Every structure is written in C-alpha cells, then in structure tokens.
Amino acid sequence: MNKGKLIVFSAPSGSGKTTIVKHLLGQEDLNLEFSISAASRAPRGEEVHGKDYYFISLEEFKKHIKAEDFLEWEEVYRDNFYGTLKSEIERIWALGKNVIFDIDVVGGLRIKHKFPEETLAVFVKPPSVDELKRRLKQRSTESEDKINMRIAKASVELATAPQFDVIIKNYDLPVALEEAHQLVKDFISKK
C-alpha cells in the first residue's frame, strides 16, 4: 500500500485546531482526508457518527484495545476514550490521500513517534487560557464542570507544545490559516 503523509493538529480544546483542519480539508492542492477518531462518548450537539467520530460503546472500545486495532488511543477523561483505528489510516491511504488528524496532544505525539518521517506534528497555541475558557463557554455544548476540567487539562497540554514539530499561534485566525496551509503544502511536497 502506498503510504501518504500524516498531518497531526493538536491543541487544548478551544484553540481553533478544528477550524484550521476544516479549512485545510477544503484546499484541494493538499489532497487531504480527515482521520475520523473513535470515541466512547455520546455525540454532542450536531456531531454525526462516521463523520465527526465513530461513536462506539465503552465495552466495544476496550475490545478494540485488546485486539490492538488502534494506532493510538487514550483515556482522555475517566471512561472517556478516544483513539485512531489502524483501519481508518489504511482506508485513507488506499484512496491515495494524505491523512489529517484533529487529535489530543498525547495521541498526536504517539503518532509522531510511530511514524517520525511521515508525520508533521503541529501544535495550535491559543492567545490565552482566559480566551480558551471564553471560547468553550461560547460553544454552549458542555457544563461548567466539563469546561473547568478542560481548562485544567489545557495547562498540561500547553506544556507539551515544544515536543511538536511546529507551533502555530492562533491569535489572528486568517494568519494562522495561511501559516497552516503553507506548512502542510511544504511538508507534503517533500519526498
């Protein structure tokens, strides 16, 4: 099978990584396909199974772990697992496309360690923790407790930024989008 490139975008919730990834998916010159992660949680808001995530039960997720079906997986919060099925990467490579991930920092770094040459690992840095909190509240998809849990996790995630290949500072979205596009374009053009 012809392997494409792996483009990892990681950041604390609310940093803008999903906005950046969606923008890049719309750029035909990059030949990207979104890696749909598996999640052991229920859909939130408008999320759709097979488009945003593969929503599977906790029991089913644990069976996949035992069978070593994941490229990477993580218990992000108690009994709340996320992971990348190996079959998802194989599906995208079979299409002749490069894989783009919108993934937590632990999963992103695991992919980088498993495929160091094929992976561009990008960390999206938010303007501030206060701005993160404002963005998460603005979404209106989670309780105050969940938001506080995400904010507490954000400081730990921000400390991992130097382990990534590149840090994009998302202080000005149009600038961040252009920087991300150029980075990915340069990376995929390398043999």
Would you call 145 exposed, middle or buried from its count of C-beta atoms within 10 A (0-12, 13-18, 19+)? Answer: exposed
Q: 38 forms bridges with which residues in the sheet? A: 54, 83
Say whether 119 counts as a known binding-site residue: no
The answer to whether 45 is annotated as binding is: no
Please indicate if the annotation marks 40 as binding a ligand. Answer: no
Is 174 known to sit in a ligand binding site?
no
Task: Tell whether residue 14 is among the known ligand binding residues.
Answer: yes
15 assigned ligand-binding residue? yes
Task: Count how many residues are written for the chain.
Answer: 191
Pair type for strands 80-85 and 37-39: antiparallel
Question: What helix, strand, coil percent values describe the chain, rounded to 5?
Answer: 45, 25, 30
**162: annotated binding-site residue?**
no
Residue 16 annotated as lining a ligand binding site: yes
Closest of 16, 33, 7 to residue 182, by C-alpha: 7
Q: Which residue ranges make up the annotated binding site? A: 11-18
Q: Which residue ranges make up the annotated binding site for ATP? A: 11-18
